[in-house]
Amino acid sequence: MTEAGALRQHVRPGAGPGGRQAVLEAAALAFTRNGYTATSIDDIADVLVATKGRVYHYYRSKLDIFLDVMISGMRELTERVGPVAGDLRLGPTERLRQMARIHATLMMTRHSFQRVAVQGIEMHLAGSLRPRQRRTWDEIIAMRDRYEQLFADVVEAGQGSGEFRETPARLATKPLLGALNWTTIWYRPEEVQQEGAGPAVQRIADELAEFVVGGLRKVPDT
Amino acid sequence: MTEAGALRQHVRPGAGPGGRQAVLEAAALAFTRNGYTATSIDDIADVLVATKGRVYHYYRSKLDIFLDVMISGMRELTERVGPVAGDLRLGPTERLRQMARIHATLMMTRHSFQRVAVQGIEMHLAGSLRPRQRRTWDEIIAMRDRYEQLFADVVEAGQGSGEFRETPARLATKPLLGALNWTTIWYRPEEVQQEGAGPAVQRIADELAEFVVGGLRKVPDT
DNA sequence: GTCTATAGACTGATAGAC
DNA sequence: GTCTATCAGTCTATAGAC
């Protein structure tokens, strides 16, 4: 890391509307529209209303941008869901319901980042990673595993309390997150989605949360 | 090389292990591994242990192959799930449970085709479609809509009978299919999966079916 | 000799990297 | 804007079945 560009990144990371964060937002949008491979650096520049030069000023390669979008998306999830997952004053059912609601909401309000994160996880880019990127990738996988564990934990807590069906927690986590993550596929944000989120977003998030809680609930004997 | 299989190729072009179907299976595998754009025709040829010539003998373009993989995958779903969806001797809960089980099983036993079908649906390739491909695409969308409707119908039937929660059927269909389709993302087929399917496949399919049925079940008042 | 299946060289366009 | 690699798609040659 001895070039001027790299140094500047450290001085003001992502400051200003024309800076690194703008490139990231533009890239998230472009990747969402066309997928990783089909998105060219020129496409990203187009969203920025700029040229390639600006993009390469902040990032060394397309893959670096992509990995950074993924990290940002997963960080947002962890930061919002983590506190609720750790709030043991809530019973397992209510805790899971709130975790699911927050997760689902982010799938919609931060659609482009979350969609990239979801699609990136399923990409097999293990090959073609340079050592530095390889380390970033390992960190992404670790973040994902820790995040999934938050859900596995609440599932097990619910089994312990008798609220949830007995089923392998790690397996139950798959359809749970699948139902929620699928939102990035079918949901189409029409306008600018702000933090507060619109009413439609809340209604959908509630429905998804009910669904996943129900999917685990123990059926009372007749 | 005078076995029946080789001879049949000449009589029925496209049949047998060296024909059109072989190209399709190879393509499904290659697309599954790297995604559509990142897969080159040479990659498909590699899986076939052949060269481009073989691939282009059966298909005019990469996109044509992709669309054909999608159609095949969706046809398999419709053919297997359709009859159960139409079997009104089964009550809504049991009908949905069986539909989900079959759907989930196909996600695993026909993993490569189903994964391509799932990923294709979310691709924005509306542009860059030639008229002939455009018609194929419209047919794919129509197949998907009809298929989703099978699930929406059983959801409404279950609401009518009082077994399922009252919720917009089309909305409820999203997490339902999301939980099931997500299987194509995390499930890794280890060996050759036959029609009968292994025990692990059955156990997973059962769990997924329980999950989605539970997600819709009405919670009895306390 | 004819026809199908396939190999493999070639080309033009695209796009990542800088 | 330039340089370069990759790749979809084309074209021709050929092997072998009948």
Do B183 and A174 make contact, defined as CB atoms within 8 angstroms?
A: yes
Whole-angstrom distance, CA of residue A62 vs CA of residue B10: 47
Average pLDDT of the segment spanning B149-171: 97
- CA dist list (Å): B126 to A34, A44, A210, B131, B154: 11, 20, 34, 11, 31
Average pLDDT of the segment spanning B45-74: 96
Closest alpha carbon to C1' of D12, residue: B53
- Candidate from A73-82, B93-102, B161-170, B198-207 with smallest mean pLDDT: B198-207
> What are the helix (H) ranges across B15-130?
20-34, 41-48, 52-58, 62-85, 92-109, 111-121
Which pLDDT score, from 0 to 100, does residue B18 have? 63
Which pLDDT score, from 0 to 100, does residue A183 have? 97
Whole-angstrom distance, CA of residue B40 vs CA of residue B31: 9
Whole-angstrom distance, CA of residue A175 vs CA of residue B208: 7
Which pLDDT score, from 0 to 100, does residue B7 have? 35
> Is pLDDT at B154 greater than 60 in this prediction?
yes
Instruction: List residue ranges whose Cβ is under 7 angstroms from nucleic strand C.
Output: A 38-42, 52-53, 56, 60-63; B 9-10, 13, 18-19, 45, 50-54, 56-58
As ranges, strand C nucleotides with an atom below 7 A of a protein CB are: 4-9, 14-18
Query: Which of the pair, A166 or B127, is modelled with greater confidence?
Result: A166
As ranges, strand D nucleotides with an atom below 7 A of a protein CB are: 1, 6-13, 17-18
The set of residues, in sequence order, having a beta carbon less than 8 Å from that of A112 and lying 6+ positions away, is A25, A28, A29, A31, A32
Is residue A182 a contact partner of residue B174, using CB atoms and an 8 Å limit? yes
Which pLDDT score, from 0 to 100, does residue A127 have? 72
Residue A12 pLDDT grade (very low, low, confident, very high; cuts 50, 70, 90) = very low
Which pLDDT score, from 0 to 100, does residue B41 have? 97
- Give the DSSP H/E element, type plus range, for residue B57: helix B52-58
Average pLDDT of the segment spanning B110-115: 97
- CA dist list (Å): A167 to A14, A98, A171, A174, A218: 44, 21, 8, 12, 10
Residue B198 pLDDT grade (very low, low, confident, very high; cuts 50, 70, 90) = low
Whole-angstrom distance, CA of residue B163 vs CA of residue B155: 9
pLDDT digit string (tens) for A124-153? 877 778 888 999 999 999 999 999 999 999
Average pLDDT of the segment spanning B42-53: 95
Residue A3 pLDDT grade (very low, low, confident, very high; cuts 50, 70, 90) = very low
Helix (H, G, I), strand (E, B) or coil at B164: strand
Q: What are A's interface residues with B at a Cβ cutoff of 8 A?
A: 33-38, 121-124, 165, 167-168, 171-172, 174-183, 185-186, 204, 207-208, 210-212, 214-217, 219-220
Q: How many CB pairs under 8 A join A and B?
A: 112
Q: For an interface test with B, which of A211, A213, A221 has the most B Cβ atoms less than 10 Å from its Cβ?
A: A211
Query: Which of the pair, A17 or B38, is modelled with greater confidence?
Result: B38
- Candidate from A64-78, A181-195, B58-72, B172-186 with smallest mean pLDDT: A181-195
As a 3-state breakdown, chain A gives helix, strand, coil percent values, each rounded to 5, of 70, 0, 30
Is residue B65 a contact partner of residue B136, using CB atoms and an 8 Å limit? no
Q: Which domains occur in chain A, in start order?
A: 1-60 (1.10.10), 61-216 (1.10.357.10)
Among chain A residues, the shortest Cα distance to B188 is held by A122
> Is pLDDT at B209 greater than 70 in this prediction?
yes
Among candidates B22, B28, B131, which has minimal Cα distance to B70?
A: B28
Helix (H, G, I), strand (E, B) or coil at A217: strand
Whole-angstrom distance, CA of residue B23 vs CA of residue B21: 5
> Is pLDDT at B32 greater than 50 in this prediction?
yes
Do A178 and B176 make contact, defined as CB atoms within 8 angstroms?
A: no
In angstroms, the CA of B14 and the C1' of C3 are apart by 16
Closest alpha carbon to C1' of D6, residue: B40
Facing A175 at nearest CB: one of B167, B171, B211:
B211
Do B215 and A212 make contact, defined as CB atoms within 8 angstroms?
A: yes
Work out whether the CA dihedral A170, B215, B186, B48 comes out positive or negative. Answer: positive
Is residue A133 a contact partner of residue A63, using CB atoms and an 8 Å limit? yes
Do A207 and B37 make contact, defined as CB atoms within 8 angstroms?
A: no
Among candidates A176, A91, A162, A216, which has minimal Cα distance to B219?
A: A216
Residue B213 pLDDT grade (very low, low, confident, very high; cuts 50, 70, 90) = very high
Q: What are B's interface residues with A at a Cβ cutoff of 8 A?
A: 33-38, 121-124, 165, 167-168, 171-172, 174-183, 185-186, 204, 207-208, 210-212, 214-217, 219-220
> Is pLDDT at B204 greater than 80 in this prediction?
yes
Closest alpha carbon to C1' of C14, residue: A40
Whole-angstrom distance, CA of residue B99 vs CA of residue B80: 9
The set of residues, in sequence order, having a beta carbon less than 8 Å from that of B210 and lying 6+ positions away, is A165, A167, A215, B97
Tokens of A35: 């997928």
Residue type at A136? T
Do B35 and A33 make contact, defined as CB atoms within 8 angstroms?
A: no
Is residue A29 a contact partner of residue A47, using CB atoms and an 8 Å limit? yes
Whole-angstrom distance, CA of residue B174 vs CA of residue A166: 25
Which pLDDT score, from 0 to 100, does residue B6 have? 37
Among chain A residues, the shortest Cα distance to B204 is held by A171
Mean pLDDT, all residues of chain A? 89
> Is pLDDT at A58 greater than 50 in this prediction?
yes
> Is pLDDT at A44 greater than 90 in this prediction?
yes
Which pLDDT score, from 0 to 100, does residue A126 have? 73
Tokens of B104: 């989930």
User: Judging by beta carbons within 10 Å of its beta carbon (0-12, 13-18, 19+), is residue A78 exposed, middle or buried?
Assistant: middle
In angstroms, the CA of A37 and the C1' of D11 are apart by 29
Average pLDDT of the segment spanning B49-56: 95
> Is pLDDT at B113 greater than 60 in this prediction?
yes
Whole-angstrom distance, CA of residue B99 vs CA of residue B104: 9
- How close, in Å, is residue A12 to chain B by CA atoms? 35
Whole-angstrom distance, CA of residue B23 vs CA of residue B49: 11
Which pLDDT score, from 0 to 100, does residue B186 have? 95
Do A182 and B179 make contact, defined as CB atoms within 8 angstroms?
A: yes
Whole-angstrom distance, CA of residue B157 vs CA of residue B102: 19
Whole-angstrom distance, CA of residue B21 vs CA of residue A111: 38
Closest alpha carbon to C1' of D18, residue: B10
Tokens of A222: 């007749």
Do B38 and A37 make contact, defined as CB atoms within 8 angstroms?
A: yes
Is residue B70 a contact partner of residue B120, using CB atoms and an 8 Å limit? yes
Which pLDDT score, from 0 to 100, does residue B57 have? 96
Residues of B with CB below 8 A from A183's CB? 174, 178
Which pLDDT score, from 0 to 100, does residue B25 have? 96
Is residue B72 a contact partner of residue B26, using CB atoms and an 8 Å limit? no
pLDDT digit string (tens) for A179-215? 999 999 999 997 655 565 556 999 999 999 999 999 9
